Amino acid sequence: MTALRMIGLAVVLAGIAAACVFALTGVGAARLDAALVQHALLSTRAADLRTRFAAVSQIDGDATLPADLAHDGETAAAATLLLQQRIVDLGTSHRLTLLTFGAGRTPYELATPAVAVELEAQGEWSDAIRFIAGLEALTPRVAIANMTLRALPGSSDPGLRAPVSLQLVVWGLYPGGGV
């Protein structure tokens, strides 16, 4: 091999090595840039949450809840009964068959007392979805927890008319605190 060929081969190999290094570091740099953007976004969200937590922790424990959050009733049992009646009315207006319902427990440890209703219902898929949307629109506001929505076996209709079973806990804040 002549010296000129060896120099040419060395230049080609150096070019290939440089291209490989550039390609590998380019992928890493792109991932690093994406991670930095995500870090900035998450840092902003974390700062917003810290601000909100600070505002909530400054609220006096005896402060009254806004009207759209507080469930009324002389006692927690009365407030639970009122919430249960609203849910039963909503379920029947959406053509659901309520199989079981009754007072339940909130799925969280809360500083503010709460009322809860557990229920199981059956109906068509579209009716169950409209019922859930109706729950989300209730005032005073409620939260939905532990929701399970299942297609019932033996259904030949996979569409909006498919029969489903729905289980969930609906709860809301009750500032009265009494039982």
Phi, psi of 75 (to 5 degrees): -135, 170
Side chain identity at residue 21, one-letter code: V
pLDDT digits (tens, 9 = 90+) for 4-62: 888 888 888 888 888 888 777 877 788 888 889 999 999 999 988 888 777 766 655 55
pLDDT digits (tens, 9 = 90+) for 80-131: 999 999 999 999 999 999 999 888 888 777 777 889 999 999 999 999 999 9
Q: What is the 3-state secondary structure (H, E, C) of 20-83?
A: HHHHHHHHHHHHHHHHHHHHHHHHHHHHHHHHHHHHHHCCCCCCCCCCCCECCCCCHHHHHHHH
Decide: 146 and 167 in contact? Cβ < 8 Å: yes
The three-class DSSP label of residue 1 is: coil
What fold is seen in the domain 76-173?
Answer: Alpha-Beta Plaits (3.30.70)
Rounded to an integer, what distance in angstroms lies between the CA atom of residue 13 and that of residue 122?
70
